[in-house]
Chain A
Amino acid sequence: MACQLSPAWQRKAVASGRLAKISARFLSDTPKTGQDAGTCRAIPFLLDNPELVWVAHDLCGILAERGHSSMLCHLHEPSGDEQYPRLVEMLHNQAGDCEFCLLPTTSTDTVLAHAFDHVVLLVPANLDAVLNAYHRIKLLAQQNTPEIGVVVVGPRDQHAAWRFFRKLAVGSLRYLDVPLLNLGFLPEQVTPEHAAHDHHRNNFLTRISERLLRSKFYSTLPDRKVVRENV
């Protein structure tokens, strides 16, 4: 029987290697709670606008509550060669021996310059923001495409969140051959004005942090001690 799927749902080309990579990531999914001494795990957050930094800030708190020492760090523009050692040193200076460094930025250039292999996109729940996110994904896909996770911020409910994610994910897969990982959503009722320990707010943030950890959605940078010895 002929395929009746809308063209938008069909992939441009089948990339079996990529699928295998994604499958392997989920099959080898064994959550760890321990902290590898000296290992720095970076999670860059590409924000649609600077106001969304509260999401990264709150996720940082949730990760810390779950026993993963975490800190928000400022991501400088890299210059010249040796990006990794420079980045690791920079993060060490800011975050000490924290297990996770959350790196909020609004600049796609900065993410590209550091060549991260994982990026979390925070996408407000509106069509303009979805298009903006698509632009960014297209830009990221021009180099070595990182694994891209999406958090939809401010949808009315789960169905609305799914519709926005689906729009972006289908477009990215169809036109760019870039699969996206749905990391969750924060409904419109969850706002930065809520109390930090609001139960409702924490539930949504906890779900996102669990998905980040379970799918190992972070870039593990070289051991800081090794880097320090080599620099």
Chain B
Amino acid sequence: MKLCIKTSDVIDREVLRTLLIDAANELTGGKSQLLEPKLPWDGHPILVADAELHPVLISFDPVNSQSALLSGLQATEQIATALPWVNQVYAALGNQQRPPRLVVVSHDPPPGAAALLVGCPDLKLFSYKVLKVNEETGLYLEPVGRHNEVSAGMPPETAAAVMEEPAETPNGPVALPPLSDEEKNYFQQL
């Protein structure tokens, strides 16, 4: 079969919503259940439950990454304050009363993404590209910048000063010296 792949910059908001619901497993990192395809708040984010039955908010915007982020943060706050109610309404959450995780999807990462990721370990950012494969529209989702965590929030000279050598292993450039049984026993407990 001949594959014809094209990229496209423009996508309708509701088409994007449908594609994100289809890709919910990828966004939440496991098997997920759709709880609410369109929450009635700014940005109309999607609410799903992840594999551990924790709530996950998927906030998105086809164009404006800042808007996606802000709407997502606002919705996270609203869900967090209404947790008892949310757990009653959505039985799939198992009444665990867990606060929601936020996933933000936008065409480009929002400004300050690296600093945000350092400060909010539960936040996940994805950028997307629209692909048309044989006239079928699909999404290419790419996680944003966890590898930039170390240097975020530091001046450039600091980030540049971080050594990038691979972590040493027994098979590394210089093999670590072996430990005697006595040494091993000594370091087994504090």
Contact = CB atoms under 8 A, between A and B. Distances in A.
B163 A75 contact: yes
B161 A106 contact: no
Contact of A109 (B118, B162, B174, B183): B174
A106 B167 contact: yes
The main secondary structure of chain A at its interface with chain B is: helix
B187 A134 contact: yes
A109 B173 contact: yes
Contacts of A127: 187-190
A171 B168 contact: no
Contact of B153 (A50, A56, A73, A192): A192
The main secondary structure of chain B at its interface with chain A is: loop
Contacts of B172: 109
B176 A139 contact: yes
Contact of A164 (B168, B177, B180, B190): B190
B168 A108 contact: yes
A130 B168 contact: no
A106 B165 contact: yes
A163 to B, nearest CB: 6
A53 B161 contact: yes
A107 B160 CA distance: 16
Contacts of A106: 163, 165, 167-168
Nearest to B118: A193
Interface string A129-150: 0110011001100100000000
Contacts of A138: 176-177, 179
A47 B168 CA distance: 11
Contacts of B176: 135, 138-139
A122 interface: no
A54 B152 CA distance: 10
B150 A50 contact: yes
Nearest to A77: B165
Given A134-B187, A138-B177, A74 B163 contact: yes
Contact of B157 (A72, A163, A174): A72
A107 B118 CA distance: 24
Contact of A50 (B162, B182, B183, B189): B162
The contact size tier of chain A is 35 or more
Contact of B163 (A50, A57, A142, A164): A50
A130 B190 CA distance: 10
Contacts, number: 87
A171 B163 contact: no
The contact size tier of chain B is 20 to 34
A45 to B, nearest CB: 10
B113 to A, nearest CB: 16
Nearest to A108: B168
B32 to A, nearest CB: 30
Nearest to A7: B182
A51 interface: yes
B190 A108 contact: no
Contacts of A105: 163, 165
Interface in A118-175: 127, 130-131, 134-135, 138-139, 142, 163-164, 167, 171, 174-175
A100 to B, nearest CB: 13
B133 to A, nearest CB: 39
A8 interface: yes
Interface of A: 8, 47, 49-51, 53-54, 56-57, 71-75, 104-110, 112, 127, 130-131, 134-135, 138-139, 142, 163-164, 167, 171, 174-175, 192-193
Given A110-B165, A131-B187, A138-B179, 16 more contacts: A8-B186, A57-B158, A104-B163, A105-B165, A106-B165, A106-B167, A107-B168, A110-B163, A127-B189, A134-B179, A135-B177, A164-B190, A167-B190, A175-B186, A193-B118, A193-B119
The list of the 5 closest CB pairs from A to B, nearest first, reads A72-B161, A107-B165, A105-B163, A57-B158, A131-B187
